[in-house]
Structure 1
Amino acid sequence: MSEQVTVANTNEVAPGTGIVAEVNGKSLAVFNVDGTFHVIDNTCVHRGGPLGEGDLEGEVVTCPWHNWEFNVKTGVSVNNPSACVATYPVVIEGTEVKVSL
């Protein structure tokens, strides 16, 4: 059974940006796409770059290390569609952004 954990408050992630959240031993990237929150693994599958520190344009984040791009809704790489990062279901409770782990 999955556990819902708080990864951020809605006011911590401005629209068009992302942050890194460490919860339960996992490093997650939390993104705000026009008021809708998405959470993916923070580690780029290419070389381990921190996706939560990358630039977000629309639904696509660019890894700050080697410019690999990932859709934050699906986790699929734009550069290599066979590569992807895990995505997590998001629930907003009040001002808390929660994910199921």
Structure 2
Amino acid sequence: MTTVRWRDTINLDDLWEGDMTAVSVDGESVLLVNVDGSVRAYANQCPHQASALDQGDLDGETLTCATHLWEFNALTGLGINPNDAALKSYGCQVGDDGTIYVDIGR
């Protein structure tokens, strides 16, 4: 049985809608994205060649890696182009005080 370990990161006030940022959680680089008020957390690396996704672009629900222009759905983490790829996702929740919590599974 896996124990959930929520780690506090930043406040929602620091991650505007349509924005993304990288944070460190237990030494792991995590990408936080805010799509229309829905916050998601992913490993901050493209599954193609591990490029940092925070260097890419977030346009609506589409997250594009800057290195080779791979595209992902920012709400699901599923690949758009190519469609057989996916981002590694982490548990994410926003507390009553606006703190964004992430569980990377360690």
Check whether the contact 2:46–2:53 (CA below 8 A) recurs between aligned residues: yes
Q: What corresponds to 1:61 in structure 2? A: 63
Check whether the contact 1:75–1:84 (CA below 8 A) recurs between aligned residues: yes
Q: What corresponds to 2:103 in structure 1? A: 100
CA RMSD of aligned residues (A): 1.3
| TM-score, normalised relative to structure 2 | 0.86
Check whether the contact 2:62–2:74 (CA below 8 A) recurs between aligned residues: yes
- Superposed structure 1 runs of 4+ greater than 4 Å apart: none
Deviation at 1:4, TM superposition (A): 0.3
Structure 2 gaps, min length 5: none
Structure 1 gaps, min length 5: none
| TM-score, normalised relative to structure 1 | 0.90
Q: What corresponds to 1:43 in structure 2? A: 45
State the structure with more CA Rg: 2
Deviation at 1:19, TM superposition (A): 0.3
Whole-angstrom distance in 1 between the partners of 2:25 and 2:92: 14
Q: What corresponds to 2:72 in structure 1? A: 70
Q: What corresponds to 2:85 in structure 1? A: 83
